[in-house]
Amino acid sequence: MEQLFYKKKLMHILFITIGLLLLYANIIYFVDPLQQYRLATFFKAVYINEIYQNPGLAKHYNYNAVIIGSSMTENFRPSYIRKKLGWQALKLSISGSNSFEEKIMLETAIKTGRVKNVIYGLDFFRLAEKNAREGFPDYLYLHQSIMDKLKYLFNIGNIDFILKTMIGNLGLAYKDNMDLDSVYTFNDKLAYSAENVILSFNNKLKQGEKLHFSLAEMKLNFNANILSVFKNNPNITFYLFFPPYSVYMYKLYEHEGKLFNFLEMKKYVCAVTKNLSNVKLYDFQSDSMIIENLNNYKDIYHYSEEINNYIIDNFNKKKYVVTADNQTG
């Protein structure tokens, strides 16, 4: 009798647990905090995490161009691109991304059939990793299986997105995270100065930062994650550019013995893309007016929004286009 009582009790708990899980999944489906099923309608989206929220943007927003890259591309504003190039651009940057993650992001957007133009910032140090970083939510991206969709519906981490969305819509916080044009930009948040660049450089020397990438690794990952996308999508125009890091970035690479690899990789990219009619390659790294003016930077890498705008301004000009005659050596 006692055994039957506990068995019924256990079944009761089991049914309650299943009921609560199904209730939670229905709430996630209805609210859809990551916009995996539809655009946000009865609330304004709060953008707080590129890796988790970009896939939903790519699947459901209206655009014909995308911005792909690391934090070097975060200061691009779609409104400026629309003004200068006439494109309806969607920024899909991922801070700290590697080329494999960027490929998944780009292919998720391409799968929608909307992409006509791609602005791609190429960081060679992001070519060192062959796979996505630990914790990368690939279940939100391309080729979603039933299990991937269930993982989204039952993911407890979605509570954080729902709470922050509620706080933002109530006007209590996250005001700067609700404008898709300016979200993730750091132009007004951080100081740009020669002092900060030199401080960044000295800190990296003190920390003994080691740049772990070889020429062979970079070529392999470029071919697999970037060149393959170019070749598989001949009807899309790719505006591939070398970001204009500060001159102190090159000093660091020279100190670490990686400058030769960096320059050889530039030659390689030029060589393998020169016959691709859908790829326009731009090199902003040799402009001393940019890279030697340290007041353009907040550290040895990251430049201000004015430089992002300058890049856009020059996409229709020939000054920075790489050709067989002016390849960087």
- The candidate with the shortest Cα–Cα distance to 28, out of 164, 153, 156, is 153
Q: How confident is the model at residue 329 (pLDDT cuts 50, 70, 90)?
A: very low
Residues 6+ apart with CB under 8 A from 71: 93, 95, 96, 186, 302
pLDDT surpassing 50 at residue 125:
yes
Residues 6+ apart with CB under 8 A from 137: 51, 52
**Mean pLDDT of the region 116-126:** 95
Q: How confident is the model at residue 3 (pLDDT cuts 50, 70, 90)?
A: low
**Mean pLDDT of the region 15-40:** 91
Q: List the beta bridge partners of residue 89.
A: 65
Q: Which of 56-60, 98-102, 321-325 has the lowest mean pLDDT?
A: 321-325
Domain 32-313 indexed as CATH 3.40.50.1110: yes
This prediction's pTM: 0.93
pLDDT, averaged across the chain: 92
pLDDT surpassing 80 at residue 318:
no
Q: Which of 203-212, 251-260, 312-321 has the lowest mean pLDDT?
A: 203-212
pLDDT at residue 324, as a whole number: 63
**Mean pLDDT of the region 282-292:** 95
Residues 6+ apart with CB under 8 A from 273: 227, 230, 240, 279, 281
Q: pLDDT tens digits for 228-244?
A: 999 999 999 999 999 99
DSSP state of 298: S
Coil, strand, or helix at residue 231? helix
Q: How confident is the model at residue 109 (pLDDT cuts 50, 70, 90)?
A: very high
Cα 136 to chain center, whole Å?
12
Q: Which sign does the torsion angle of CA 190, 193, 198, 199 carry?
A: negative
Q: pLDDT tens digits for 81-99?
A: 999 999 999 999 999 999 9
User: Phi and psi of 279, rounded to 5°?
Assistant: -115, 125
pLDDT at residue 129, as a whole number: 85
DSSP of 241-291, one letter per residue?
EE----HHHHHHHHHHT-HHHHHHHHHHHHHHHTT-TTEEEEE-TT-HHHH
DSSP state of 156: T
pLDDT surpassing 80 at residue 9:
no
Coil, strand, or helix at residue 91? strand
Residues 6+ apart with CB under 8 A from 318: none
pLDDT surpassing 90 at residue 20:
no
Domain range summary for the chain, segments of one domain joined by +: 32-313
**Mean pLDDT of the region 162-179:** 94
Q: pLDDT tens digits for 187-201?
A: 776 789 999 999 999
**DSSP strand pairing (65-68 vs 279-283):** unpaired
* CA torsion angle 37 38 39 44 (round to 10): -70
Which helix H or strand E contains 321, and what residues bound it?
none
Q: Which two tokens stand for residue 176?
A: 């700067």
pLDDT surpassing 90 at residue 65:
yes
pLDDT at residue 41, as a whole number: 86
Q: Which two tokens stand for residue 274?
A: 């020169």
DSSP state of 132: P
Which helix H or strand E contains 308, and what residues bound it?
helix 305-313
pLDDT at residue 222, as a whole number: 97
- Residue 140 or 8, more confident: 140
- The candidate with the shortest Cα–Cα distance to 133, out of 74, 51, 210, is 51
pLDDT surpassing 50 at residue 64:
yes
User: Phi and psi of 281, rounded to 5°?
Assistant: -105, 130
